[in-house]
Amino acid sequence: MQPATVHLDQTRWFGEILQFLESHPKSSLLALVREVSPDFLVLPPDARVHLWFWMKTELQLLASAGAFCTAIDADGVVTYSLRPEGALNAGGGNKE
């Protein structure tokens, strides 16, 4: 039997990310991972890989559902921001 999948929006981290994005719009995945796991860079490699790709997948799912706006900055880095109040989810979360 496989363990149940835990999604980001079911964790306390989701609230922390929302608060962080209020004051730090256009944050990268690294900034968000370091916000919820300040010791990220000293974690064992397998734990870093797991956390990184789990968070990336979860943020992409939430952005597609309209929870966040995403953009690609000049360096090609995907950034995350809160969706403006009252914004319609026309075409997913990848519009800012």
CATH number at 43 reads 1.10.10
- The per-residue pLDDT for 96 is 44
Burial class for 60, CB neighbours closer than 10 Å (0-12, 13-18, 19+): middle
Structural domain span for residue 39: 8-82
Query: Which is more confident, 59 or 93?
Result: 59
2-12 pLDDT per residue, tens? 566 778 877 78
The dihedrals phi and psi of 69, each to the nearest 5 degrees, come to: -100, 145
23 domain residue, yes or no: yes
37 domain residue, yes or no: yes
93 domain residue, yes or no: no
3 domain residue, yes or no: no
29 domain residue, yes or no: yes
70 domain residue, yes or no: yes
- The per-residue pLDDT for 57 is 92
89 domain residue, yes or no: no
pLDDT category at 92 given cuts 50, 70, 90 is: very low
- The pTM is what? 0.77
What total of structural domains would you count in the chain? Answer: 1
- The per-residue pLDDT for 4 is 65
63 domain residue, yes or no: yes
18-60 pLDDT per residue, tens? 899 999 999 999 999 999 999 999 999 999 999 999 999 989 9
